Amino acid sequence: MSADALDELTIHEFAVPANLESDGGDDFVEMVAMRNEVETEILGNDDTNPTPRELLPFYQDPFAPKRLFLARVSGRIIGRGVYEWQPEDGATAAFLEVEVAAPFRRQGVGTSLLRVLEASAAADGLRVLQSWSLHLPTASDDVLVPPTGFGAIERGSAAVRFAQAHGYRLEQVGRMSRIDLPVDPDILAAKRADAAAHATGYEVVQWVGRCPDKWLTDMALVHQRMSTDAPSAALEFAEEDWDEERMRNLDDMNEAGGRVNLTSAALHVASGRLVGFTDIALPEHEGRPASQEDTLVLKEHRGHRLGMLLKVANLELLMRVSPVTPRITTFNAEENRPMLDVNEAVGFVPTAYEAGWKKTV
């Protein structure tokens, strides 16, 4: 970027539009296109790229509020910064995201965006700053390993240099995995039968789309436990408050974005309560890759191979509901070996890594 162009750089907070047809809708579409270009460049594919319609509801979520800042040169969106926080009492962390289009990097745009985000956190009294960056596997021996001892990223990558230059410490590495579809149904049937033999006293309950009213309370509980039970290393998260209203809001966002959730849940027969779940999100456009979302079994019900049972059941459901879906992507903490064992056993393979960064001010 030339010095003259840099002089024209502006960063402003962007008012998220009510819909894509209202004022600001075109700018939101342009922002999503820039975001997708950046992530496609990093990953080498567009498997995780959302459409504007899919992404918009998540910028309107009252339970995970966000502010969006756009960097422009001559009116063109060349960078974005996302500032997110938790509305729960006692939350201490802000979640920051900075992305800059390739031709405009190493010119101070990312730093300028980060300063705006950090200033927003300071104004809100949030002293823990956390962010994530995507990385391809590396053959280099010069790697950075988090304190967990699990996973590694290339020390010399641009994202690492940027994070460390601004005082952030690597706390966790997550794995991005992919499974190509269809999976051999005989293999899935055998794994499901084996898991079911260890899950006496449990049944699988499934649905497509909105959570049935009868399960809203149970699903709210397991979602809340996702915020406390999932491995997070030294990254900080407040326990999320989930109730039936928040569950309905999640379904509303998926419907507004054209996404369809496929859910398989574990029913504890003796209590009549759901004690675990997994869900896969089908995207707006048929034939695009799906996203494996959350998976959790309550701690007090682990040891019965429910994770395997639910994963296999949901894969079978997906192949029935959407046989044209080509593959699924998912993210897991590298130290979450029980879940990685399940994923690897059904055919997921690692494709990329996600670094979790933290700075306390």
Task: Name 50's Cβ contacts closer than 8 Å, sequence gap at least 6.
Answer: 32, 36, 257, 283
Domain match, 87 and 219 both: no
170 in a structural domain: no
What's the domain range around 265? 182-325
* Tens-digit pLDDT profile for residues 115-133: 999 999 999 999 999 999 9
Residue 3 has pLDDT above 80, yes or no: no
336 in a structural domain: no
103 in a structural domain: yes
- The pLDDT, as a whole number, for residue 139 is 86
Angle of CA points 187, 354, 121, to nearest 5°: 140
39 in a structural domain: yes
Residue 4 has pLDDT above 90, yes or no: no
Separation CA 22–CA 7 (nearest Å): 30
CATH code, domain with 247: 3.40.630.30
- The pLDDT, as a whole number, for residue 1 is 47
Q: What rounded mean pLDDT belongs to the chain?
A: 96
Taking only Cα atoms into account, the Rg of the chain, rounded to an integer number of angstroms, comes to: 21
253 in a structural domain: yes
Domain match, 310 and 186 both: yes
Task: Give the ranges where the chain is alpha helix by DSSP (H).
Answer: 3-7, 25-43, 52-55, 109-123, 158-165, 185-197, 216-229, 244-256, 306-321, 337-346
Domain match, 111 and 194 both: no
* Tens-digit pLDDT profile for residues 319-333: 999 999 999 999 999
Domain match, 188 and 309 both: yes
What's the domain count of the chain? 2
* Tens-digit pLDDT profile for residues 183-230: 999 999 999 999 999 999 999 999 999 999 999 999 999 999 999 999
148 in a structural domain: no
- The pLDDT, as a whole number, for residue 22 is 97
* Tens-digit pLDDT profile for residues 231-260: 999 999 999 999 999 999 999 999 999 999
Domain boundary among 111, 126, 141: 126
Overall average pLDDT of the 157-181 stretch: 98
- The pLDDT, as a whole number, for residue 7 is 74
96 in a structural domain: yes
Domain match, 122 and 192 both: no
* Tens-digit pLDDT profile for residues 270-305: 999 999 999 999 999 999 999 999 999 999 999 999
155 in a structural domain: no
Domain match, 195 and 101 both: no
The one-character DSSP state at 58 is: G
Portion of the chain with pLDDT greater than 90, in percent:
97
Overall average pLDDT of the 3-16 stretch: 83
- The pLDDT, as a whole number, for residue 5 is 57
